[in-house]
Amino acid sequence: MTGGCGFIGSRFVERLATAGDSVVVLDKLTYAGNLANLDGVSHEFVRGDIADREAVQRAGEGCGACVNFAAETHVDRSILRAHEFIHTDVLGTYVLLEWAREADARLVQVSTDEVYGDVAAGESSSERDALRPSSPYSASKAGGDLQVLSHVRTFGVDALITRGSNTYGPHQYPEKLIPLFITNAFDGKELPVYGDGKQVRDWLHASDHCAAIEFVMRHGQGGEVYNVGGDCELENLTVVARILELCDADDGLVRHVDDRLGHDRRYSLDSGKLHSLGWAPERDFRSGLEETVAWYREHRAWWEPIKSGAYREYYEQQYASRLGT
Rounded CA gap, 82 and 270, in Å? 29
How many Cβ atoms sit within 10 Å of the Cβ of residue 253?
A: 19
Rounded to whole angstroms, the Cα distance separating 49 from 87 reads: 10
Beta carbons within 10 angstroms of residue 289's beta carbon: 22
Indicate which residue of 114, 145, 158, 175 is catalytic: 114
| Nearest partner of 271 among 217, 204, 206, judged by Cα | 204
Question: Where does the pLDDT of residue 152 fall: very low under 50, low under 70, confident under 90, or very high at 90 and above?
Answer: very high
Active-site position among 137, 226, 315, 319: 137
Residue range 281-309: mean pLDDT, rounded: 96
Res 231: pLDDT: 95
* Amino acid letter, 203: W
**113 carries an active-site annotation:** yes
Q: Are 224 and 160 in contact (CB under 8 A)?
A: yes
242: confidence class by pLDDT, cuts 50, 70, 90: very high
Distance CA 315, CA 320 (A): 7
What gap in Å lies between CA 307 and CA 325, rounded to an integer?
17
Are 226 and 163 spatial neighbours (Cβ–Cβ below 8 Å)? yes
Say which CATH superfamily domain 7-172+203-232+270-288 falls into.
Answer: NAD(P)-binding Rossmann-like Domain (3.40.50.720)
* Alpha helices (H) along 188-266: 206-219, 236-247
Residue 307 has a pLDDT of: 92
The string of pLDDT tens digits covering residues 206-218 is 999 999 999 999 9
Active site residue 245: no
Asked if pLDDT for residue 195 goes beyond 80, the answer is yes
Q: Which residues pair with 191 in a beta bridge?
A: 254
Predicted model pTM: 0.96
Statement: residue 303 has pLDDT above 90? yes
Note the pLDDT tens digit of each residue in 91-143: 999 999 999 999 999 999 999 999 999 999 999 999 999 999 999 999 999 99
Question: Domain boundaries in the chain?
Answer: 7-172+203-232+270-288
From the candidates 49, 72, 113, 190, give the one annotated as an active-site residue.
Answer: 113
